[in-house]
Structure 1
Amino acid sequence: MSIPILDLQEALAPGGARSAAVAAQLRAAAMASGFFYVRNHGVSGELVARQFRVAHQLMALPQQRRQALSMQHSPTLRGFENIGAQTLDAAARPDLKESFYCGMVYPDDHPYVRAGYQTYGHNQWPSELPDAPAQCETYIRTMLALSTRLMQLMALSLGLPEDYFDATSADPMVTLRMVRYPAHPVDADDRTFGAGAHTDWGAITILAQDAHGGLEVCMPGGDWVPATPVEGCFVVNLGDMIPRWTNGLYHSNPHRVRNLHSGGAPRYSIPFFYEPGYFARIEAVPGTVPAGEAPRHAPCTAGEHLREMYRKTYGLKTGATDATSAASP
């Protein structure tokens, strides 16, 4: 089994001539590995190239500067993350990657910022790269628009109105991550990965990767296959919210990274993580629960789900202002 390529030509806008056909392809991919490529996605190659340049510039900053802008200094967990700071696979060694996180900027008087909800707030930026904030904000807006369209196609794939998920995208939780993987150690054991096997936490991940490759996807039969870079394409995968939304019909499959094919050079990738708004309800959508059966997953909000994932992987404690009993504004 291979990872399919979805061509979004004539399906990029609601009511597009090929929307139904693309939605059917998305359904097939979602019921298999939860991974697919998209081409003709409306994002310019130059915008992606500029984003990679920013990623290279950020990772070229001295370690002292990166430490001063560590994500550990940020209430929204934005900024630099050191190699080994995250362990995505509990059975593996700490991940061999370093990252820079940023996201949408919400003003101080936004109710979610005042409440202290995770991911809502401001970014940290190095003064040495004055153009980085505007470039990242442009990229985030572009990826958010593509994510919204993919969610519309997903709604069609489930036999729902095209705008079914639109309301959940108000005040979304989105994260842009620029990742640098050093060359895979020549003496590495079978517990060493750039990113250990994991599933993503949110709804949709849109990945731009450089030409080196290294991403591997676990297919339904248990085989690991490479998600080889395809020129002009993003890799898209479904996160853990989607099985909750679809009662297990659609899958969020494990994937991992090993930088084995770069000839000793670092590998760069830029994942964009789309999550709906904090109080978006994540529960089985109509048509996914067979008559007489109970849903496979308990309902929750997007904020509850995402916060629990952060707690598990980073050991974060839940603050009083981020409690699950907080009332929706």
Structure 2
Amino acid sequence: MPTAPQLPILDLHDALTPGAPRSAEVARQFRAAAQDSGFFYVRRHGVPEALIAQQFTLAEQLLTLPPAVREALSIRHSPSSRGFEALGAQTLDANAHPDLKESFYCGLAYPEEHPYVRAGYQTYGHNQWPAQLPDAPTQCEAYMQAMLALSRRLMQLMALSLDLPENYFDAADGSPMVTLRLVRYPPHPPGADEHTFGAGAHTDWGALTLLAQDHHGGLEVCTPSGDWVDATPLPGTLVVNLGDMIPRWTNGCYHSNPHRVRNRHSGGAARYSIPFFYEPDYLAPITPVPGTVAPGTPPLFEPCTAGEHLRQMYLKTYAPQAKTWAPTAPSP
């Protein structure tokens, strides 16, 4: 498989805190990547490698539990869409076969009395945990908190990249929507046709995705020219990509590009990856940031809340399960 990185690498050393010396330099690099494919690596990102390694161990433990255990905790039984998702349950590319992957979903442990939990907003519901792995809730919460801290910092760097105050997006982060997904891809089938993927071509729906991938690789990114390039695993890095919320927030200035997965380089082994999806508060308004709409011209997108945006994206893939989505306004 290819070894040379084909996506930009942002080194976050001396840029991990507000006002850090290299913040402006990294923000310029962020802008260049965001105006191109919307994909880049981050290194020296502050998330302990031991924590990431533990998460991969947990991913393998979860996704090799007996089928009866996974079925009992299926995402189909969860109004908040958390738990196990079976092989072939999702089709990210409508022109391809069902995706060859299986997953486990969880999210932040918001308390029952939180108003968004009481309202039944999807990403604020309760997790499902297998009794066979009692440490899983604590371990996943620690991982999510580490990734959440990094996501918040990346949002600050994005603000700087747009010539906005460093804390511009902080106001949208009151009770963020967070989804952690642990994914297992079986080997790519020998002789598979061109419509067979571990994950079909798609863009992510939300704000930021922070991906930890194992050493096998398989993630492919579509560049603005239409070429597909490998997001080769690089030790000590995470892959970051912008979701569809960011073009909406920047009036098309920043991009979210398609990507897909084919587990073709593992020598017959399963591939594991751990995407962390960061979205702002459910009720955060998503309107073009200052400086992105030319005077006298309308914005490219209708204003909405973060929750409304995700609901629109969700319905495109999971229309039959649309009833699991909560209203887009708070209950009285």
Q: Which moved more, 1:290-299 or 1:207-216?
A: 290-299
Question: CA distance change for structure 1 residues 320 and 201 in 2, over 3 Å: closer, same or farther?
Answer: closer
Q: Which digits, 9 at most, give the CA deviation of each residue in 1:142-180, with x for residues without a partner? A: 000000000000000000000000011111110000000
1:16-27 matches, within 5 Å, as 16-27=20-31
Separation (CA, whole Å) in 1 of partners of 2:98 and 2:64 = 22
Q: 1:292 aligns with which of 292, 296, 306?
A: 296
Instruction: Answer yes or no: is 1:244 the counterpart of 2:211.
Output: no
TM-superposed CA distance for 1:2, in Å, is 2.8
Measured in 1, the distance between the counterparts of 2:110 and 2:48 equals 26
Q: Which amino acid aligns with 1:177?
A: R
CA separation of 1:305 and 1:232: change in aligned 2, threshold 3 A: same
What is the letter of the counterpart of residue 76 of structure 1? S
Q: CA distance change for structure 1 residues 321 and 130 in 2, over 3 Å: closer, same or farther?
A: closer
Task: State whether structure 2 residue 68 is matched by structure 1 residue 56.
Answer: no
Displacement after TM superposition at 1:317 (Å): 5.0
Separation in structure 1 between the aligned mates of residue 51 and residue 7 of structure 2, nearest angstrom: 25
Gaps of 5+ in 1: none
| Partner SS for 1:322 | coil
| Residue 254, structure 1, aligned to residue 235, structure 2 | no
1:162 aligns with 2:172: no
2:38 counterpart residue number: 34
- 1:153 corresponding residue in structure 2: 157
TM-score by length of 2: 0.96
| CA distance in 2: counterparts of 1:186 and 1:222, whole angstroms | 26
**CA RMSD in angstroms, aligned pairs only:** 1.4
Equivalent position of 2:199 in the other structure: 195
* Mapped partners of 2:72, 2:149: distance in 1: 32
TM superposition shift of 1:318: 4.7
* Cα distance between partner residues in 2 of 1:225 and 1:263: 20
CA contact (8 A) 1:182 1:265 kept: yes
Shift of 1:311: 1.8
TM-superposed CA distance for 1:316, in Å, is: 4.5
CA distance in 1, matches of 2:93, 2:84: 21
Distance 1:317 1:297 in 2: 26
- Aligned partners of 1:318 and 1:288: how far apart in 2? 33
**Which residue of structure 2 lines up, in the alignment, with residue 279 of structure 1?**
283
Q: Name the SS for the 1:119 alignment partner.
A: helix
Select the residue among 71, 81, 88 that pairs with 1:84.
88
> Could you tell me which of 2, 9, 14 is aligned with 1:10?
14
Q: For 2:210, what is the secondary structure of its paired residue?
A: strand
Q: Where do 5+ consecutive residues of structure 2 fail to align?
A: none
SS at match of 1:268: strand
Please tell me the residue identity of whatever aligns with 2:192.
A
Secondary structure, counterpart of 1:165 in structure 2: helix
Runs of 4+ residues deviating >6 angstroms: none
Matched residue type, 1:240: D
Could you state the TM-score of these two structures normalised by the residue count of structure 1?
0.97
Partner amino acid, structure 2, of 1:286? P
Residues 118 and 307 of structure 1 are in contact (CA less than 8 Å); yes or no, is this contact kept in structure 2? no
Q: For the Cα contact (< 8 Å) 1:107–1:121, is it kept in 2?
A: no
Q: Aligned pair count?
A: 328
Give the AA of the match of 1:246.
T
Question: Do the aligned partners of 1:279 and 1:328 also contact (CA within 8 Å) in 2?
Answer: no
Q: Secondary structure at the match of 1:141?
A: helix
Matching residue of 2:114 = 110
Q: Distance in 2 between matches of 1:318 and 1:220?
A: 32
Q: Following the alignment from structure 2 to structure 1, what is the Cα–Cα distance between the partners of residues 326 and 70?
A: 28
Residue aligned with 2:122, SS: coil
Q: Residues 104-130 of structure 1, C-alpha deviation per residue, up to 9 Å, x if partnerless? A: 012222111111111112110000001
CA distance in structure 1 between the partners assigned to 2:30 and 2:78 by the alignment: 37
